[in-house]
Amino acid sequence: MALKQKEEISAGGLHNTLASSTTVKGDILTENDFRLDGQIEGNVTCSGKLVLGPKGKVSGKVIAENAEIMGEIDGTILVKAKLVLKTSAVVKGDIQTQTIEIEPNARFNGTCAMSGE
């Protein structure tokens, strides 16, 4: 009996990670989900979900489909769908999103524009 091999190509489950001991000076562009626990001095563009861990920090513009922020962002945030600012989040900059959820004790200094699209 012959064994059939099936190759599955799926974007689900693919993600990138930047560890807490890593610093990047430059822009990041990813088509998949991205978990950031390190520091980025530059812009982050993510076509999937961006998760910024509690020790993560971005100094620059953040663009993502969805985002969950637990760390610090010093710059503009553009999230097309849903942005969640967790308790430990610190955001210094303007936000543009469709939906926003801000947990108690999260800090946000800037303006927020919400679209219905």
Q: 35: which DSSP letter?
A: E
How far apart, in whole angstroms, are the C-alpha atoms of residue 50 and residue 67? 5
Domain spans in the chain, listed from the N-terminal domain onward: 22-114
How far apart, in whole angstroms, are the C-alpha atoms of residue 10 and residue 33? 13
pLDDT of residue 15: 74
pTM, entire model: 0.84
pLDDT of residue 86: 98
Question: Which residue from 45, 57, 114, 41 is spatially nearest to 90, judged by alpha carbons?
Answer: 57
pLDDT of residue 16: 84
CA 91-51-28 angle, 5° bins? 85
Report mean pLDDT in 10-residue bins for the chain, 117 residues. 41 73 93 94 96 96 98 97 97 97 96 84
pLDDT of residue 14: 66
| Three-class SS of 64-107 | EEEEEECCEEECCEEEEEEEEECCCCEEECCEEEEEEEECCCCE
